[in-house]
């Protein structure tokens, strides 16, 4: 009968039998678990809102394929229970984490629905209440409380708290109530999926893969789903349901604009006559559990396995990353809190030597500078100012830098930048820029001072001073210092054979009166040295022989004054870390297993806020890998 009615209508969709239509009316209606707060909605509708169409929004959005990435978790089944609001809430949080970090997570709907203030029952809920409760309690992984395990033999749900629940919680930091279609589309185009509520009629249960528009059938209830996109061409919202993958279009469906209370253009009404124009809810952000998480930032073969990677965080809620591709192009990626990583190209094929070092600084929050070595040995630079596009320039001509040379930079004051690299004759070259002037070059160490494959590192511990280190051809670790008003001075930290000729080198100044330095020795041990004002350099060992690949990059940050973190790649391709807290010894751990990093992989890190660290390295498959940590 439904098929006949649809055939005679203008709905352009067909009814299809499925496991949901096989249920009786009570079982079907039991899936619809939304409790509508009519008074609160009436107050929301009276508030001013943006109804103006947003310029330049895409005509279609689908978070299953956003720049080649899928940020929508797999379809699940809520079984014979009205827990759709919890399924939608978990789905939106899962998408938000995927967009922000690239990580794929699976959250426990059972914990949210049966162990929270909602109570251990299959009654309904409202999205903002569920998001509030998820923010208050957090949501653990599905494996801590699998949804099917919540039900006893009679089908009654209960709560079970995993003993490690509080160690693995994902908590929304807030939500936005999206009243107008303009607000919804802007959020979907720029932020991610949202929770949506709509009125379900009996004909909806038989939907297949066309755009749903209500034709016939009585009131069944109200349902909550994750809206993952829209299509102006089809005049519809795209959504993920929670009735299993054998319903609809593999568990997904499309519903027309203005249908069944789904948006602010709807004229749908409740059986009591109330107008149905339900808001959508977007999660503002997600507080992540402590510990390390990792994901692949760029695809295979996007980065030269002989190259390096560098990063800055110019403002606390943003990170920028750059590397060299196998074709010599210079690639970049950026992340802003609440968004996903976006990639772009600064220099086309042949811009950089595939084994080139790359370095960057942000001297002021609204600007970034980047440098690398070209195949002809010239030193190239690029700059960006907020509101503009990237510009390019040359600092030193062809033949100035050795192929594969290390390169490093600091900005000791907001109006100045300093840059150093190794020349083909093994000399150590420098360049400086002060606002209002042009780049000037000079020599710190003459021919034969540095190994041609040497890493090079620098810090500015106070505005009136700079320190620089590199590896000499004999494996000694060399240093140079500059104090305002004086000239460069030289010294040696580690004697001959202290460092592998191609060793990476890293440094931090965690407090103004101290500096720390690390490198890889010829036997693969990880060596460190420290200096405190008024004393001399002291050396020590963090990792014994065989700990690091002799050509490994090495990266370090000091996220708080009383702590330091260090990372490198091991001979088996694992990524290793070490940390130090004031008053304690160095401790070791593994971030990524064997085979994760390319031999001699470039590696870099930033700490954009005191309770977080982000680490990147070149993967064995030529991808860029990312690992992040939140306290």
Per domain, the residue ranges of the chain are: 13-47+60-286, 304-630
**What pLDDT score does 1 carry?**
53
Q: Which of 56, 110, 61, 59 is nearest to 81 (CA)?
A: 110
Q: Which of 71, 115, 241, 260 is catalytic?
A: 241
Cβ neighbours, 10 Å, residue 437: 10
Q: What pLDDT score was predicted for residue 65?
A: 96
Give the up-direction half-sphere exposure of residue 497: CA atoms within 13 A in the CB hemisphere. 1
Cβ atoms of 22 and 244 closer than 8 Å? no
pLDDT tens, position by position, 572-623: 999 999 999 998 889 999 999 999 999 887 999 999 999 999 999 999 999 9
The superfamily in CATH containing domain 304-630 is: Fucose-specific lectin (2.120.10.70)
Q: Which two tokens stand for residue 200?
A: 């379900």
Contact 160, 151 (CB under 8 A): no
What pLDDT sits at residue 11?
67
pLDDT of amino acid 102: 83
Contact, 492 vs 474, CB < 8 A? no
Q: Where would I find the H helices in 159-302?
A: 181-190
Token reading at 553? 């990059």
What pLDDT was estimated at residue 26? 94
CATH class (in words) of the domain with range 13-47+60-286: alpha beta
Phi, psi at 55, each rounded to 5°: -70, 145
Residues in the chain: 631
Q: H or E segment at 624?
A: strand 624-630
Q: Say if CB 291 and CB 577 are below 8 A apart.
A: no
What pLDDT score does 53 carry? 60
Task: Give the global pTM.
Answer: 0.73
Residue 142, phi then psi, degrees to nearest 5: -55, -35
CB-based burial label for 202 (10 Å; 0-12, 13-18, 19+): middle
State the residue for tokens 């390019």.
392
For residue 556, what is the enclosing H or E element? strand 554-557
Taking 50 as the pLDDT cut, the residues of the chain under it are none
Q: What stretches of 106-174 show up as alpha helix (H) in DSSP? A: 109-114, 127-137
281 is catalytic: no
Q: Does 84 participate in catalysis according to the annotation? A: yes
Per-residue CA distances from 196 to 126, 188, 237 (Å):
10, 12, 10
- Catalytic residue check, 241: yes
pLDDT at 7: 55
Q: Which of 593, 69, 551, 621 is nearest to 333 (CA)?
A: 69
Task: Give Cβ neighbours of residue 171 (< 8 Å, ≥ 6 apart).
Answer: 134, 135, 136, 137, 138, 139, 286, 287
Position 51 scores a pLDDT of 59
* 86 closest CA partner among 226, 192, 222: 226
Q: What is the pLDDT of residue 42?
A: 86
Backbone φ and ψ for 164, nearest 5 degrees, come out as -100, 15
In this predicted structure, what is the pLDDT of residue 290? 79
Catalytic residue among 113, 223, 276, 281: 223
Out of 81, 84, 88, 224, the active site residue is 84
């Amino acid at each position: 009968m439904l098929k006949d009615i649809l055939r005679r209508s203008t709905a352009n969709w067909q009814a299809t039998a499925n496991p949901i239509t096989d249920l009786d009316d009570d079982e079907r209606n039991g899936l619809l678990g939304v409790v509508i707060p009519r008074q609160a909605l009436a107050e929301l509708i009276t508030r001013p809102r943006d109804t103006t169409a947003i310029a330049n929004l895409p005509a279609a959005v689908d978070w299953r394929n956003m720049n080649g990435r899928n940020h929508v978790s797999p379809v699940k089944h809520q079984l014979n229970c009205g827990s759709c609001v919890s399924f939608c809430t978990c789905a939106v949080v899962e998408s938000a984490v995927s967009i922000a970090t690239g990580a794929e997570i699976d959250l426990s709907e059972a914990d949210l629905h049966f162990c929270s203030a909602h109570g251990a029952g299959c009654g309904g809920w409202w999205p903002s209440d569920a998001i509030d409760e998820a923010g208050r309690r957090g949501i653990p992984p599905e494996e801590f409380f699998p949804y099917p395990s919540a039900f006893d033999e009679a089908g009654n749900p209960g709560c079970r708290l995993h003993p490690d629940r509080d160690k693995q919680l994902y908590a929304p930091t807030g939500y936005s109530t999206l009243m107008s279609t303009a607000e919804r589309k802007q959020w979907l185009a720029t932020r991610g999926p949202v929770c949506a509520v709509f009125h379900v009629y009996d004909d909806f249960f038989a939907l297949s893969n066309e755009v749903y528009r209500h034709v016939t059938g009585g009131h069944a209830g109200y349902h909550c789903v994750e809206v993952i996109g829209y299509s102006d061409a089809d005049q519809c919202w795209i959504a993920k349901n929670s009735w299993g993958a054998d319903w609809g279009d593999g568990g997904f469906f499309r519903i027309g604009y203005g249908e069944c209370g789904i948006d602010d253009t709807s004229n749908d009404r409740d059986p009591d006559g109330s107008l149905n124009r339900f808001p959508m809810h977007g999660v503002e952000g997600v507080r992540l559990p402590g510990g390390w998480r990792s994901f692949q930032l760029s695809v295979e073969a996007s980065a030269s396995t002989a190259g390096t990677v560098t990063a800055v965080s110019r403002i606390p809620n943003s990170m920028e990353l750059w590397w060299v591709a196998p074709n010599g192009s210079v690639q970049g990626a950026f992340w802003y809190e609440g968004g996903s990583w976006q990639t772009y190209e600064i220099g086309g094929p042949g811009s950089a030597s595939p084994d080139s070092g790359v370095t960057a600084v942000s001297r002021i929050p609204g600007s970034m500078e980047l440098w690398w070595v070209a195949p002809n040995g010239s030193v190239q630079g690029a700059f960006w100012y907020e509101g503009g596009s990237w510009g390019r320039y040359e600092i030193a001509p062809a033949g100035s830098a050795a192929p594969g040379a290390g390169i490093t930079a600091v900005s000791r004051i907001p109006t100045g930048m300093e840059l150093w690299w190794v020349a083909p004759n093994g000399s150590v070259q420098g360049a400086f820029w002060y606002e209002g002037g042009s780049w000037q070059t000079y020599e710190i160490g003459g021919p034969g001072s540095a190994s041609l494959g040497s890493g090079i590192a620098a810090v500015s511990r106070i505005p009136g001073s700079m320190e620089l280190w590199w590896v000499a051809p004999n494996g000694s670790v060399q240093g140079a210092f500059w104090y305002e008003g004086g000239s460069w001075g030289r010294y040696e930290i580690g004697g001959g054979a202290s460092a592998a000729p191609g060793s990476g080198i890293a440094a931090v100044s965690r407090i103004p009166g101290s500096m720390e330095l690390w490198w890889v020795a010829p036997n693969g041990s990880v060596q460190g040295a420290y200096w405190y004002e008024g004393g001399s350099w002291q050396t020590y060992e963090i990792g014994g022989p065989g700990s690091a690949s002799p050509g490994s990059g090495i990266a370090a940050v000091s996220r708080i004054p009383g702590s330091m973190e260090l990372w490198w790649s091991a001979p088996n391709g694992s990524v290793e870390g070490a940390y130090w807290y004031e008053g304690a010894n160095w401790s070791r751990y593994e971030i990524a297993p064997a085979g994760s990093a390319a031999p001699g992989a470039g590696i870099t890190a930033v700490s954009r806020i005191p309770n977080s660290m982000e680490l990147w390295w070149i993967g064995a498959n030529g991808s860029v890998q990312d690992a992040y940590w939140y306290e």
